Copies of this chain bind each other. A is one copy, B any other.
């Protein structure tokens, strides 16, 4: 997630404002456009092959969701934007994928930027930018590439059970955002488990060589997830307070529910943040404890054998007259003395709880 985030901005250095320039990795992602047009009685689902097919949905009485995938297709996005009267800066934001979550309240539409978080195949966290435009009777959504967390939403619209098809476009925007926020729980759960794994690893002493880099990376990841999620609370708040026919009063209760979820996620993130900050301290004490272990072994070995070696050295001296050397049981007596010293030292270290 994000190491190359900031660089993306450089492509736009010196460009006039409102320049619609895709800041992601230029790849030949194909453009994929799908449209849902429904009311309480029917639901038309269709894959569009040209962007112009989307133009007719604008004035219809039914609710329309046009989902555009492939932000590298800037010309099509500009065409759509012009047809729907979007401000040039809005179009610029749609394809600038380093936006933070935000809401811009324009006269006849709302523009909302959200981060959709999910795990990539290599278990890293991907933060795909999803932009929504909520107008009268329609929701436009823009994703960097195909693939999202909206499958359950599609199914509910198709089947038309419950509230899904009997409400307006503001409710459609709600269920899309709700699907994204519901996914946040999966993401942070994994973060929490990682922290606990590290705790267990450090505690049991089975730490890999990369542990301090891993912790540093996890800190960064938590800070970035935080940045992707926290500003969304203010976005939802602004939707709740928005005064225009675009957001109906009865739908606001549902947005309130997203807000509750965001607060839950945020609190968990902040707990994780505090926990990981003290992981390093925990690691440090573990290292120090190990060093203590090492030092004790050294000290015990040295303290026991250095004096004994000294005594052996004494009786290895070549003085003409060393009376002990000629004692009858001198050698055995010395062994007794040395064993006594040995046991004395053992007792001393035992009492000190070093053994």
Contact residues of A with B, CB < 8 Å?
A: 3, 6-7, 9-10, 12-18, 87, 89, 92-93, 98-100, 102, 104, 151-152, 155-156, 161-164, 174-175, 178-179, 182-183, 185-186, 188-189, 192, 196, 199, 202-203, 210, 212-213, 215-216, 219-220, 223-224, 227, 253-254, 256-257, 260, 263-264, 267-268, 271, 274-275, 277-292, 294-299, 301-303, 305-310, 312-326, 328, 330-331, 334, 354
Across the interface, do A321 and B312 meet the contact criterion of CB distance under 8 Å? no
Of the residues B271, B287, B289, B318, contact of A220 by C-beta under 8 Å:
B271
Interchain residue pairs A-B with the least CB separation, the first 8: A14-B152, A312-B313, A298-B299, A315-B317, A316-B316, A9-B185, A6-B189, A203-B213
- Bound complex: CA of A44 vs CA of B301, how far in Å? 79
Beyond the given pairs A14-B152, A100-B263, A216-B279, 9 more chain A to chain B contacts, judged by CB atoms under 8 angstroms and listed by A's residue number, are A6-B192, A9-B189, A17-B178, A17-B254, A98-B264, A284-B285, A287-B292, A305-B307, A308-B310
13 chain-A/chain-B pairs, Cβ below 8 angstroms: A14-B151, A14-B179, A15-B152, A18-B162, A100-B264, A216-B275, A285-B287, A287-B289, A312-B317, A315-B317, A319-B325, A319-B331, A320-B326
How many Å from the CB of A29 to the closest CB on chain B? 24
B residues near A104, Cβ cutoff 8 Å: 256
How many Å from the CB of A201 to the closest CB on chain B? 11
B residues near A6, Cβ cutoff 8 Å: 185, 188-189, 192, 268
How many Å from the CB of A224 to the closest CB on chain B? 7
Instruction: Given A15-B152, A219-B275, check contact A306 B317 (CB 8 Å).
Output: no
How many Å from the CB of A295 to the closest CB on chain B? 5
Across the interface, do A271 and B302 meet the contact criterion of CB distance under 8 Å? no
Which of A17, A215, A223, A312 neighbours the largest number of chain B CB atoms within 10 Å of its CB? A17
Instruction: Given A89-B253, A267-B100, A310-B309, check contact A152 B13 (CB 8 Å).
Output: yes
- Bound complex: CA of A220 vs CA of B282, how far in Å? 14
Of the residues B9, B196, B320, contact of A325 by C-beta under 8 Å:
B320
Instruction: Given A260-B100, A301-B306, check contact A282 B216 (CB 8 Å).
Output: yes
Of the residues B224, B288, B302, contact of A302 by C-beta under 8 Å:
B302
Across the interface, do B277 and A278 meet the contact criterion of CB distance under 8 Å? yes
Of the residues B202, B309, B330, contact of A321 by C-beta under 8 Å:
B330
Instruction: Given A16-B162, A271-B227, check contact A292 B292 (CB 8 Å).
Output: no
Across the interface, do B321 and A331 meet the contact criterion of CB distance under 8 Å? yes
B residues near A186, Cβ cutoff 8 Å: 10, 13
